[in-house]
């Protein structure tokens, strides 16, 4: 049978894709025997982050305004808001190239009571979670996305970026956004106000939060505080700190005493999701209702993708073998035929 160059390339491409798909499927289908999966990366001992308490959030969006001011981000007006918003009001509805931090609302039925799943409403804060094993860092081909070895902050370097936007596609939380409306667009995401931290100032969102719904600190300290809160029962009196939980960055702030109104979900979001995140959340409403991905593994996706890549490309044995096979196939099918 005559094999044209076009047919050969088509079959080779299909075969390579099928092999890659089969390898990924085998790893995903047998997590207990993932020989190709690399070990997860640990959380840095001094990692810092945020704890967001949905039950304390009043939806004032002071954090959104402060974030814009601290990072030089412009006002954002959605197309369907222009009829009433002439551009004076900043009214973002989602993370974007102009908005690094946004408060979103869950609503159900009559919305009669805050933090109730049925006939209630609740708030959720969306921003970069600063994963322990971030997909955006893993897929970046030029290290424009990096994770600080000490603080764990995931940062973006626009000077290194080539605009491939792999980070946008890879993030399971949908955080990095590209400035599509700019001829010199960059990736935009929360970098935990690292420029403010360098001056011993709090991240802007936690600095202005009036209720302590957004709390800054070492991730381990925040995790302990989150565990304390989810153990509280309605009717108990408790203390809610503000600013930095340790009172170091930005100076000590006065917290406040309050009665626990509703039962917390027995789930700290970010404690285990995808290997853990430095920004955590607690809530009285289930997190899937707050539009956060909950059906995710407890190890980051890079443990599988990098494991497969490092195995296949170790010593370049795999690519060399594939190339040899393709050369042999080409030679066998073309030696007695004219070149197409």
| Confidence (pLDDT) at 137 | 97
Helix axes 302-312, 5-29, angle to 10 degrees: 130
By C-alpha distance, which of 302, 310, 311 is closest to 167? Answer: 302
Indicate the pTM of the whole model.
0.82
The mean per-residue pLDDT over the stretch 160-184 comes to 95
Instruction: Give me the phi and psi of 46, to 5 degrees please.
Output: -105, 25
**24-41 pLDDT tens trace:** 444 444 444 466 788 999
| Confidence (pLDDT) at 86 | 82
Three-class DSSP category at 162 = coil
End-to-end, the C-alpha distance of the chain in Å comes to: 14
- Quote the CA–CA distance of 318 and 144 in Å, as a whole number: 28
Contact predicate 5/340, CB 8 Å: yes
**224-267 pLDDT tens trace:** 999 999 999 999 999 999 999 999 999 999 999 999 999 999 99
Question: Where do the H-state alpha helices sit in 127-265?
Answer: 135-139, 166-170, 194-197, 204-208, 219-230
Domain boundaries, given as residue ranges, for the chain = 5-39+302-334, 48-133+188-282
Percent of the chain with pLDDT over 90: 71
pLDDT above 90: residue 150? yes
Q: What angle do CA 216, 221, 227 make, to 5 degrees?
A: 105
The mean per-residue pLDDT over the stretch 306-320 comes to 64
Q: Which fold has domain 48-133+188-282?
A: Alpha-Beta Plaits (3.30.70)
| Confidence (pLDDT) at 325 | 75
| Confidence (pLDDT) at 23 | 46
Three-class DSSP category at 182 = coil
Strands (E), 213-254: 214-218, 237-240
Percent of the chain with pLDDT over 70: 83
């Amino acid at each position: 049978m005559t094999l044209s160059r076009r047919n050969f390339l088509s079959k080779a491409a299909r075969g390579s894709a099928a092999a890659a798909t089969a390898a990924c499927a085998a790893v995903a289908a047998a997590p207990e025997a993932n020989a190709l999966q690399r070990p997860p990366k640990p959380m840095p001992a001094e990692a810092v982050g945020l704890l967001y308490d949905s039950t304390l959030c009043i939806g004032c969006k002071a954090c959104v305004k402060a974030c814009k001011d601290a990072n030089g981000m412009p006002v954002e007006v959605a197309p369907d808001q222009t009829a009433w918003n002439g551009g004076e009001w900043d009214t973002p509805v989602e993370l974007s190239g102009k908005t690094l931090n946004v408060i979103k609302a869950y609503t159900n039925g009559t919305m009669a009571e805050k933090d109730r799943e049925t006939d209630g409403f609740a708030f959720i804060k969306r921003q970069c979670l600063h994963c322990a094993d971030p997909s955006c860092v893993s897929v970046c081909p030029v290290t424009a996305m990096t994770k600080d070895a000490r603080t764990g902050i995931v940062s973006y370097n626009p000077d290194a970026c080539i605009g491939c936007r792999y980070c946008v596609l890879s993030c399971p939380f949908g955080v990095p956004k590209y400035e599509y409306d700019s001829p010199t667009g960059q990736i935009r995401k929360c970098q935990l106000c690292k420029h403010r931290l360098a001056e011993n100032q709090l991240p802007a969102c936690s600095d202005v939060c009036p209720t302590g719904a957004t709390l800054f600190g070492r991730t381990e300290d925040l995790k302990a505080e989150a565990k304390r809160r989810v153990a509280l029962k309605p009717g108990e009196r408790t203390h809610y700190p503000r600013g930095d939980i340790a009172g170091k960055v930005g100076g000590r702030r006065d917290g406040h005493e309050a009665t626990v109104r509703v039962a917390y979900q027995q789930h700290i979001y970010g404690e285990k999701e995808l290997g853990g995140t430095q920004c955590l959340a607690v809530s009285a409403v289930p997190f899937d209702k707050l539009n956060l991905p909950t059906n995710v593994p407890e190890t980051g996706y890079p443990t599988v993708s990098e494991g497969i890549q490092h195995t296949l490309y170790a010593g370049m044995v795999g690519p060399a073998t594939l190339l040899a096979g393709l050369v042999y196939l080409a030679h066998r099918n073309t030696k007695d035929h004219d070149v197409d």
